[in-house]
Structures are given as C-alpha cells and as structure tokens.
C-alpha cells in the first residue's frame, strides 16, 4: 500500500525541502525552515495520491530512467555509472577575468546563463539570489537580465526551496533556465513529467556538482566562530578567491549588523566539508554526485594541473546538444580542453565512494533495522571492510551530533560548547582512519 510522502520521505527524515511538492496545484504541503535550519515540507491539507511522483527521494523514477528519456536517443551519447549519460566532458574557464574572478566555481554557469539570454534562447533564469526575507540569507528567484544573473554568480551552501519561483513559472509564460544541485534538478524533471506546463516553460537545466546539502547552521557556525553571532548574521560569502593561494584554498566572509569578518575556510573548526556537519540526512542516501539529469553540469576542476591558478577552473559535463554547440562556438570567450573519465573519478573519488559503497552500507543498516528508506540504484550491502564500515557509521554520528552540539551552543550562547561536544566524535573518527 502506498503510504504517501508524509509517512515516508518526510516523517523518516529524507526531505530536502526542495519545494516541488509545494508547487503542485492545490498542494498538500508548504515548505518551512525547522529548528535545525533545514527546509522541510509540512502538511497543510490532505495529500493527493500521486504527490510522491514529483519527490526526488520517493523513488518513483531514478536518475538513469530520467536521463534515458531526455538524452538516450541522442547521437554520440555515452554512459558510465558515475556521470550517467553525457556527450562530452571538459575542463576550462571563461576568458573574461572580471567574470571569472566575480564567480566562485561557476563562472561558466554564469557565462552560459548570460549567453542564453543574449542569444534569445531563454527569457529568464531560475537561480539562487540574495533573499529579502530577514530569516533567509538566500532564496530562489528569477533573473531576466545579464546584470541580475551576474549578481547571483557565487556558491551558496545554504538551504533553500523553489516553490515560490515555480509559482512564478506557472503564472508567467516564459522560457526558463533552471540552475540547481542534483536533487533539485531531479525534482524539476519529475515535475516536468507530471505537469506539462513545466516541461514547456523550463527549457534547459544546469546542474552543480554536489558533495552534500547544508542546514543554515553551517553559515551561522562559521560566522559565530569568526566573531559574528548567529542573531547578527546578515550575509555570508562562502567562497572568496585568494590570488596568492591555490584554487582549492579560499576564504569565507561573514557580515554582521555592524561589522564584517573573514577567515580562510580550512582554518575554521566548523568548515571541514569531509566531516559532514549540518548535512541533510537525505544526502547520505543520494547516489547522484554530478547532476545526471541536467543538460550540463559544472563544478570545481581541482586537478593538480589546475590548482595553481587561483582564479579557478571548471569541470564541464555536457548532455544537451544545444549546450554543446553553445560552448563549441565560444572559442574566443572560453578556454576548454578535454578531460578524461579518470580525471572525473579522481576529482570526485571521495564523493563517489560515499555515494556508492557508503549508500549501499547505509541502506543495509536501514534494512537491518526494519526502517523505511528510499529506493536507490545501488543495492544494500555490508560487503565492506571493518574500517570502511566504521568510517560510515561515524559519519552518521557526526552529522547528527553536529546539530545536537550546535543547538546546545545556541541555548548556552557559547560557541565553544559546539567544539567541546564534537571533539570526542571527531577524535574517534580520526582514530578510525589510523587503523
């Protein structure tokens, strides 16, 4: 018997708060931020039987099935288990230094969006922008000019939802480019299957390589560690390039009511990406690193041959022929060179491992406990080394305890409590790696 989204994805903690369910006509859900700074779907009326068809974690369609419908019949299409379907992949950058320096890893994303507007391929871009809501630093919005697109040309490791932007799409008959992380792009694709209007109006998508998605505790913790209290945080810059450092060493900037603080990201206790603080549980059950359902995917190309250039270099995975042609015709504006599957595997080795063998083991743990979990492309298995199992179990603890520790710190108004709470879990985590 189908239990619906409420009893499965939402109640069991796999909602990413994308807002697809809230964008349906007569939607049964709305999206709110919970006490842990996570965007989550909340019931407001009786759920329709088919609502799960548009949820990226309900398991109705997987990424391979969606991509096959989109790209499977294209001439020259290739496939592997890590990139999904693709026409080509490359590494490169925008030749315009102003654009390259203003962006983080997304200068080619910004270039594509602006070029599509300029060439009348689209009328508007759905992407993340600064929010007018005092409770949110950033939110999905609509840009119709190159200048507006430029203003959104930075990474935002911050929770958001797209239902308001999708409502705009429903009421404005334009051609849209959507930009988002893998699960958001997948949600758009599922909406397009269910609602013809979205298929007609959202004509292209850009995906962003994603390690995992963050609660707003992430920005608040880093800001607090730098000296800006969470109650005073008004803006956060997640990636500042340093011209005297390598591309994978960057700064973060927290802006408060009356002051601004800056630090090198790697120097902050709260910023270690691999430890997975403030991560959505759903991210531990996602097997899509490179947005396999997007027309083109962009990310950091932190290969040895590129990291010495602090301006940054993009990884580009192309699936749509119109995007391929747009890039191929831009020899004066872009510098692109082929990269190999081995390069991509090297770039995202840790992410692929966590999203393949890691997902497999976490599914096994859920099945062993008799708990509902999403259906994924990988099969549940405990056929891992003792060390690898211990690493994955400890990461689950780190995710959960990061929230508990930060909530305690907020209650006591003392950031050091967060560090003290996490230290034994981190000590154990690092000890496992020394086995």
Domain boundaries, the chain: 4-214+282-351
52 token code pair: 């799960």
Please classify residue 300 by burial: count the beta carbons closer than 10 Å to its beta carbon, then call 0-12 exposed, 13-18 middle and 19+ buried.
Answer: buried
Task: Quote the DSSP letter at residue 269.
Answer: G
Task: Quote the DSSP letter at residue 31.
Answer: E
Task: Give the H/E segment covering residue 241.
Answer: strand 235-241
Q: Are 37 and 217 in contact (CB under 8 A)?
A: yes
Between CA 7 and CA 371 the distance in angstroms is: 12
| β-pair partners for 79 | 85
Q: Is 339 helix (H, G, I), strand (E, B) or coil?
A: coil
pLDDT of the chain, 435 residues: tens digit per residue = 357 899 999 999 999 999 999 999 888 899 999 999 999 999 998 888 778 899 999 988 999 999 999 999 999 999 999 999 999 999 999 998 877 777 665 689 999 999 999 999 999 999 999 888 878 899 999 999 998 998 777 778 899 999 999 999 999 999 999 999 999 999 999 999 999 999 999 999 999 999 999 999 999 999 999 999 999 999 999 989 899 999 899 999 999 999 999 999 999 999 988 899 999 999 999 999 999 999 999 999 999 999 999 898 999 999 999 999 999 999 999 999 999 999 999 999 999 999 999 999 999 999 999 999 999 999 999 999 999 999 999 999 999 999 999 999 999 999 999 999 999 999 999 999 999
């Amino acid at each position: 018997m189908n239990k619906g989204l409420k009893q499965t994805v939402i109640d069991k903690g796999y909602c990413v708060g994308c807002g697809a369910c809230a964008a349906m006509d007569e939607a049964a859900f709305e999206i709110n931020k919970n006490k842990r700074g996570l965007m989550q779907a909340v019931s407001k009326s009786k759920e329709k039987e088919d609502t799960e068809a548009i949820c990226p974690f309900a398991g109705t369609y997987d990424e391979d099935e969606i991509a096959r419908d989109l790209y499977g019949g294209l001439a020259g299409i290739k496939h592997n288990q890590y990139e999904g379907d693709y026409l080509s992949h490359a590494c490169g950058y925008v030749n315009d230094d102003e654009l390259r320096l203003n962006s983080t890893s997304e200068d080619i994303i910004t270039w594509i969006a602006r070029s599509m507007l300029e060439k009348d391929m689209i009328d508007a871009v759905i992407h993340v922008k600064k929010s007018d809501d005092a409770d949110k630093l950033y939110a999905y919005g609509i840009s119709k000019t190159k200048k507006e697109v430029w203003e959104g040309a930075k990474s935002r490791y911050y929770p958001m939802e797209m239902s308001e932007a999708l409502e705009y799409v429903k009421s404005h008959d334009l051609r849209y480019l959507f930009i988002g992380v893998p699960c958001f792009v997948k949600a758009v694709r599922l909406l397009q299957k269910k609602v013809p209007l979205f298929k007609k109006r959202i004509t292209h998508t850009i995906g962003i390589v994603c390690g995992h998605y963050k609660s707003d505790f992430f920005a608040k913790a880093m800001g607090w560690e730098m000296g800006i209290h969470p109650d005073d945080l008004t803006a956060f810059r997640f990636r500042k390039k340093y011209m005297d450092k390598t591309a994978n060493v960057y700064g973060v900037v927290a802006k408060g009511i009356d002051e601004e603080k800056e630090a090198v990201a790697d120097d902050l206790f709260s910023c270690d990406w691999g430890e997975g603080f403030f991560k959505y549980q759903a991210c531990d059950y996602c097997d899509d690193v490179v947005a396999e359902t997007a027309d083109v995917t962009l990310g950091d190309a932190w290969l040895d041959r590129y990291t010495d250039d602090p301006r940054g270099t993009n990884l580009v995975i192309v699936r749509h022929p119109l995007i391929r042609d747009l890039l191929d015709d831009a020899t004066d504006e872009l510098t692109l060179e082929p990269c190999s599957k081995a390069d991509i595997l090297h770039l995202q080795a840790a992410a692929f491992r966590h999203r393949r063998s890691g997902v497999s083991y976490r599914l096994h743990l859920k099945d062993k406990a008799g708990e509902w979990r999403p259906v994924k492309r990988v099969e549940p298995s405990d056929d891992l080394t003792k060390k690898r199992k211990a690493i994955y179990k400890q990461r689950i603890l780190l995710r959960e305890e990061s929230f508990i520790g930060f909530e305690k710190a907020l209650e006591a108004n003392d950031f050091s409590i967060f560090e003290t709470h996490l230290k034994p879990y981190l000590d154990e985590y690092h000890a496992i790696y020394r086995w």
